[in-house]
Structure 1
């Protein structure tokens, strides 16, 4: 049995999905010459122009239907296309008035899955810049992050954990307080001479340490990506090695289905 004070080698994947622009780019402020004249007491302030209701509904529909897919990464692959299509239809139907207000147009829904080349290029450049930052944040933990694959609107980053001290990993992912508590529990067990109990405790804690690293890197990546590209709407789906192929295959099949529907809708 391996040394339970060390986290063994393992790998997982960060799937960065570009959904859509989160908000329109900010417009330049008015110059003094173009500022509107002050209102007189009799004048009512002009109503602020709002985005057309249909466009607002369409944006919400895009995000809601996409997130519905993200929450169901293990669709039945025995009948992949049918499962993906039914999942997409169900996610749209659940929106009720929003879907009917848009005339139930599949071409509009499909655009949620077809990001523009400009958006993808910006996301790609940002991800390349962010990877060294993530490694710097995880200083003390021996990991590598590789931009392994990109197709449609998903970027796949492989994280290879080469092994590290358990306490150091807990400190980086859960904080000093949790790491200290972990050490105190182990120290108490050592004093009691319960060697078997220590091994059981560490083996049970190991999956939590792994999940902690996955969650930490996912949140850091999204935080840095959204800071660099504030108007991009992105999601990060973090999966272990054995889950990745199934999820990615399903997602790409679904994206292609939506892309084809967008072209012919």
Structure 2
């Protein structure tokens, strides 16, 4: 029962009767209204539950999508980080290799320059000694003729003007050691300083300071290293540097 004599058909119903006596046709209407109100309330509850379930599903889907996006972003970040590290590592290795190749090339060039300076120092020293002592130059020439003139009867030697005395002294000793060889030494205006031309029965021999120095330079090149091999190695280093760059 409600206040002031009102009666509710159900506790949760909003349909009430405020009269003590209800006629049959009015009761039927009241009951229909109560049933309709109850059905409407049930539909509202069902719609509310359905809306709640849909909202929960939307929230769940949104959370799953957000987690998927976070995972994709994390994987993309890690992949980019790995690629950046690999690219940085490759760049560092490339720079290190380039510096190493350049250092090797510079070292090789410095070695070549030092070798050339050493060769020039030795050649200059020999040139100074032979230039000061012409007798040594002619003694070397006489020594080179020992076997060639072993059976010769005469030897005609021509030297540059001003070097007759040194040549005569050197070849006089050679003539004395060779036995019956007759040696003649004369000056020749067409010969340069340090040059010497020797003619005997069956041959001609020419030598000189420059020839001696060139021969010495060739020997030193062979001892210190072959130019072709050195240049080939330098070219290979240059090619390697170009590829690295």
Compute the TM-score of the two structures, normalised by the length of structure 1: 0.24
**Structure having the larger proportion of residues in helix:** 2
Structure number with the higher strand fraction is 1
* Larger RCO, structure (CA 8 Å, separation 6 or more): 1
Name the larger-Rg structure: 2
TM-score (norm 2): 0.25
